[in-house]
Amino acid sequence: MKQTLRKSALLAAVASTIGMAAPLAQAAGTITFGEDKSVSVGLGIRSTFTSTEDGATNGSSNSNDFALDSVRLYMNASLNKYIKGTFNTEKKADESIGVIDAIAQFEFMPEFNIWAGRMLPASDRSNLNGPYYLLPFSYPGIVSRYPSRTTGRDDGAAVWGKLLDSRLIYNLGAFEGHNVGTRVGTTPGTSDQPLVAARLQYDFWTPNGAPAFYTGSTTFGAADVLSVGVAAQYQKDGAVSATSTGDYTGWNLDGLMEKKAGPGAVTAEGAYYKYDTDGVIKSEDGTAYLLGLGYIFNEVFGWGRFQPHVRYQKFDRDDNPVLAADKKQYDFGLNYVIDGFNAKLAATYSKVEQTTGKEVDKFIVGVQLQF
């Protein structure tokens, strides 16, 4: 999701919508060495301070923690007009660096393209946004839970394209899968069939300005947006535990609306999810819901603009509700948007409720920069 190509093209689309002609692709650091030959390098950083009520080790004091949540190196290359490549890395929890994207891109025309390697499979809008292109600062992990090999990605190949004046986006791929269960990455006693992932998205008002099938959950008031999408993933014997194997099925509907209104623009989003592992991994069998609302003010205060927002997530497990850990999360936040997704600050109050365990209340301050 967070490729230099994607960052530049998405922001360029926003810029052109509001009348700016600056070649934002240059912001990523591009070296050109011939016709349609180039290499681009970029950097993404996300860092947070989190205070959790009763989160200290004594059980009665607030915890206060600083974290470097993400450091990403973005690299894109173009051999010619049709053959391109993407290589992105991410800091892992153990402080090592891992590959999240490594894509060979054969881009013949807007209507038909082939990608192969490690990439985002067709999935929900939140996963295609990723943490760097959300309206709220934190990722909605309670509801957006399609399985992945790393950071929402998997190894495979996909075809995608944009039809009907780029309003209809399709994406169909086959991937390694087997990412659900206690034996993730193994295929003992399975048919070893690929995971099939598909998505259709239609943009009614303004066509999606992001490259390929990627998305963003706000244009910061630059465009009127009305978009709906449906995605599904299926793998025979895709859920594997130490004692059993089952088919994995996941699907969702999602929508995004942004409309200029009064002294700014209102943004609304929603999603419905259904996950099923044939009862093999009961913690992943269930239904999920997401609702979000935001408003960005046109007036600039200092360096940026304010964007208050709220978000609700809920995951209902299918098994016995007395024993299951159904979970809800409420987020109330305020973004200070300096340069779109390139530079923003955020403050968020978050409350997590579940049927087993006590409530968790957090206050989070975050900073995001992309170069």
The percentage of residues in the chain with a pLDDT greater than 70, rounded to a whole number, is: 88
Q: With a cut of 70, say whether residue 26 has pLDDT above it.
A: no
Selected residue with higher pLDDT from 267 and 21: 267
Tokens representing residue 318 in the block:
């299918």
For the stretch 228-263, pLDDT in tens is 999 999 999 988 888 888 999 999 999 999 999 999
Q: Mean pLDDT in the chain?
A: 89
Residue 312 to residue 150: CA distance in whole angstroms: 25
Find tokens 């992105």 and name the residue.
88
Secondary structure of 116-138 in HEC code, one letter for each residue: EEEECCCCCHHHHHCHHHCCCCC
Q: With a cut of 90, say whether residue 190 has pLDDT above it.
A: no
Q: With a cut of 60, say whether residue 25 has pLDDT above it.
A: no
Q: How confident is the model at residue 219 (pLDDT cuts 50, 70, 90)?
A: very high
- For the segment 74-94, the average pLDDT, to the nearest whole number, is 94
- For the segment 4-21, the average pLDDT, to the nearest whole number, is 41
- For the segment 42-56, the average pLDDT, to the nearest whole number, is 93
307 contacts 337 by C-beta, under 8 angstroms? yes
Burial label for 185, CB within 10 Å (0-12, 13-18, 19+), is exposed
122 contacts 171 by C-beta, under 8 angstroms? yes
Integer CA distances (angstroms), 192 to 195, 241, 284, in order: 9, 15, 21
Q: Please give the pLDDT value at position 320.
A: 67
Q: Please give the pLDDT value at position 181.
A: 60
- For the segment 96-125, the average pLDDT, to the nearest whole number, is 97
Q: With a cut of 80, say whether residue 20 has pLDDT above it.
A: no
For the stretch 292-327, pLDDT in tens is 999 999 999 999 999 999 999 999 999 866 666 789
Q: Please give the pLDDT value at position 94.
A: 83
Q: Please give the pLDDT value at position 321.
A: 63
Domains of the chain: 4-370 (2.40.160.10)
Tokens representing residue 43 in the block:
């950097």
51 contacts 360 by C-beta, under 8 angstroms? no
Q: With a cut of 60, say whether residue 24 has pLDDT above it.
A: no
Category of 181 on φ-ψ map: left (φ > 0), alpha (ψ -120 to 50) or beta? left
Q: With a cut of 80, say whether residue 187 has pLDDT above it.
A: no
Closest by Cα among 331, 322, 175, 196 to 250: 196
Residue 339 to residue 234: CA distance in whole angstroms: 38
Closest by Cα among 142, 148, 155, 69 to 116: 155
Closest by Cα among 282, 359, 270, 292 to 316: 282
Q: Please give the pLDDT value at position 211.
A: 87
Overall pTM > 0.95: no
Q: Please give the pLDDT value at position 335.
A: 99
User: Could you write out the DSSP letters of every residue in 280-296?
Assistant: SSGGG-EEEEEEEEEEE
Q: How confident is the model at residue 59 (pLDDT cuts 50, 70, 90)?
A: confident
